[in-house]
Amino acid sequence: MKRTLLAVTALLLTGTSLAQTKTLTVYSGRAKTFVDPVVQQFERQTGIKVNVRYGTDAQLVAALREEGSRSPADVYWGNSVGALGELAEEGKFSKLGSALTRNVSDDYLPDSRTWLPTTVRFRTLAYNTTKIKPDQLPDSIMDLPKMTSLKGRIGWTVSYPSFQDFLGVMIAQQGEQKTRAWIEGMKALQPKDYKTSNVGMLEAMRAGEIDVALTNHYYIQRVNRLNYPIDTYFFKNGDIGNLGNATGAGILKTSKNQGNAARFLSALVARDAQTFFLSVNFEYPVIGNILQPTTMLPYADVIKRSPKVDPTVMPKNIEKAQKLLRDAGLL
């Protein structure tokens, strides 16, 4: 293992290739829209052909478990800390050297150094500015079930990984009993479930079907380009409703292309890719000195609003969160 890590470090420092083939296989829990431009640029710059298998985090994690040592995957690019944490706990990833991790913000870099954060998103509440005023909304997401005036006017995406990660952290902070009570309280408000379609949910808000929605910050930024009457509401500082969550990538121990995989991870946190993630996807970068749109809170401000959370609690509680949702008849 030491020799492998030293070789990967040498690759990143010298640019020489260790791989016998000029190919790479990536399992991506990220949608093609977010991934393909970066993949194509990497192929142009390196001459390495990248084969991408797309799917949900759950589908790809299950595939990696079933394939075991036979998996063709070199890199897993996850959509949430929960999925990345599950694979890391199972020992699926190679440890990354400092050449990969040293320029990345340590806010979401795991202590194990087994995967690399690539972007950061924050949970938030979207609201229709023609129907709701910010001072009408609660300070904490834990009080949202008390908003009886919003009955039938709330949207959420209970199958979306970031929502389930959020519930996993709620279990860690508040316990299963309070989390169950929150879910039941929300259910009593008859929210509309948009499955995994945050875009569809905000389109429904524009159409007047709902007035508020639990979502990630970047979806609101995207529809704002279309002048939708939708804005972002952050709860009080440290509230779980502002939970920060990272996307990230790890190199599979079973990869036969460790060198190419390391080059790929390095490309994901390079300035070009990080600028793309911010300017096109409105996700926060994990490296410094990238100019942000004025419509987004500076990273230094928004990170203060997010609770300080040990990222390892998410994977430990995902199954519990899913069970609570099933018990409530929501999954």
Binding residues: 218-219
**Nearest residue to 86 (alpha-carbon basis) of 181, 3, 164:** 164
> Is there a domain that residue 290 lies in?
yes
Beta bridge partners of 125: 214, 233
Tens of pLDDT along the chain (331 residues) come to 334 333 433 434 334 344 446 999 999 999 898 889 999 999 999 999 999 999 999 899 999 999 999 999 999 999 988 899 999 999 999 999 999 999 999 899 999 999 999 999 999 999 999 999 999 999 999 999 999 999 999 999 999 988 998 999 999 999 999 999 999 999 999 999 999 999 999 999 999 999 999 999 999 999 988 889 999 999 999 999 999 999 999 999 999 999 999 999 999 999 999 999 999 999 999 998 898 888 899 999 999 999 988 777 777 898 999 999 999 999 9
pTM metric for this prediction? 0.88
What is d(CA 86, CA 81) in angstroms, rounded to the nearest whole number? 8
The secondary structure of 35-74 as a DSSP string is HHHHHHHHHHHH--EEEEEE--HHHHHHHHHHHGGG---S
Q: 193: which 2 tokens?
A: 């479930």
Residues 264 and 217 in one domain: no
Tally of domains in the chain:
2
Residues 95 and 51 in one domain: yes
Task: Kindly tell me the sign of the dihedral angle through the C-alpha atoms of 241, 155, 321, 247.
Answer: negative
Report pLDDT digits (tens) over 90-144: 999 999 999 999 999 989 999 999 999 999 999 999 999 999 999 999 999 999 9
Residues 202 and 317 in one domain: yes
What is d(CA 218, CA 285) in angstroms, rounded to the nearest whole number? 12
Report pLDDT digits (tens) over 293-326: 888 999 999 999 999 887 777 778 989 999 999 9
**Nearest residue to 220 (alpha-carbon basis) of 147, 127, 109:** 127
Q: 124: which 2 tokens?
A: 């938030």
> Which residues form the domain of 186?
121-243+311-328
> Is there a domain that residue 261 lies in?
yes
Binding residues for Fe cation: 218-219
The CATH number given to whatever domain includes residue 126 is: 3.40.190.10
Residues 142 and 175 in one domain: yes
The secondary structure of 274-305 as a DSSP string is HHHHHHTT-PBPSSS--PPPTTS--HHHHHHH
Beta strands in 73-225 (DSSP E): 75-78, 116-128, 154-156, 192-193, 212-216
Residues 266 and 128 in one domain: no
**Nearest residue to 34 (alpha-carbon basis) of 52, 59, 46, 58:** 52
Residues 162 and 125 in one domain: yes
Residues 58 and 81 in one domain: yes
Residues 318 and 219 in one domain: yes
